[in-house]
Structure 1
């Protein structure tokens, strides 16, 4: 299945902003990429995982130096506050590449918007 790249949805845009709100220099560098990112579905199971593509020529600062491919993450909570999964941002070559969303299968479909379900207190990706 070949999907076309499209502008970020409001949900993905807000999710990226929240996950990258840690205030570090690396967070700020990846935040600067967000206006230059397009997306397409990243999974065939129906989850909200998306592939990300940065217009590298439009990013003035160039690639971000990062040791881990996991740039940021946060837990996903149900409407009643239960831990039901995780959202992770991956980057390769210094550019954002994936917003991976993992929700436990037996809980059913995740109610969107995703950004309203995030708990971003667990951080620290050198």
Structure 2
């Protein structure tokens, strides 16, 4: 996406990233004024377990951040693991 850049990353190494979007060249999606989950996907391991998920959030119609969520402390859920399974 030409008008989207990573502003910062989570310090815990989970893969969560926060975006900056050039709002002068991109119009908001019709999602309303609040924060919504714009997309979500489960992370699956080779044996079919689902240790977490990836969520993409929008605020006031603009992409805001991508979050890598863990459902357990038993596995290190990272963006690398998510990329292998999505």
What TM-score bracket applies, with the shorter chain setting the length? 0.7 to 0.9
Among residues 103, 117, 122, which one is paired with 2:85 in the alignment? Answer: 117
Instruction: Report the alpha carbon displacement of residue 69 of structure 1 after superposing the two structures with TM.
Output: 0.9
Q: Which runs of 5+ in 2 are unaligned?
A: none
TM-score for the superposition, normalised by structure 1: 0.57
Q: Return closer, same or farther for 1:105/1:35 CA change in 2, 3 Å cut-off.
A: farther
CA offsets per residue over residues 7-38 of structure 1, 9 Å max, x none?
xxxxxxxxxxxxxxxxxxxxxxxxxxx33110
**71-80 or 86-95, larger mean C-alpha shift:** 71-80
The C-alpha deviation readout for 1:55-79, integer Å capped at 9, x for no partner, is 11222xx111115611110101113
Label 1:45 to 1:76 Cα distance change in 2 as closer, same or farther (>3 A): same
Between Structure 1 and Structure 2, which shows a larger proportion of helix residues? 1
The separation in 1 between residues aligned to 2:29 and 2:24, in whole angstroms, is 14
Q: List structure 1 runs of 4+ shifted beyond 4 angstroms.
A: none
Gapped regions of structure 1 (runs ≥ 5): 1-33, 119-126
State yes or no: 1:66 paired with 2:34. no
TM-score by length of 2: 0.79
RMSD (CA atoms): 2.0
Match of residue 56 from structure 1: 23
Cα separation, 2, equivalents of 1:87 and 1:79: 17
